[in-house]
Amino acid sequence: MIDNRHYTVSEITEMFNVEDKTVRKWINEGKLFAVQLAGTTIRIPESELQYFYRRSQAWGWKE
């Protein structure tokens, strides 16, 4: 079964213990894929979050 869970920027900030602006920077730089919904609403698919986490661990990179 496919998991369609999407996370908010706030949820990502809590998971990675970073500020909101850091998550938005990752998105703007293309390091973290996000879907923009109506207006300024942004969601990050769970599959992308898992991929991002694996890459960040492999690179030893946080920000």
Tell me if 22 is assigned to some domain.
yes
* DSSP secondary structure of 17-46: T--HHHHHHHHHTTSS--EE-STT-EEEEH
The percentage of residues in the chain with a pLDDT greater than 70, rounded to a whole number, is 87
Tell me if 49 is assigned to some domain.
yes
Print the domain residue range for 34: 6-58
Structural domains of the chain, count: 1
Mean residue pLDDT of the chain comes to 87
Q: For the segment 5-22, what is each residue's pLDDT rounded down to a tens digit? A: 999 999 999 998 999 999
Could you tell me the pTM of the whole model?
0.78
CA distance to 1, 28, 31, 38, 48, per residue, from 19 (Å): 33, 15, 16, 23, 19
Tell me if 10 is assigned to some domain.
yes
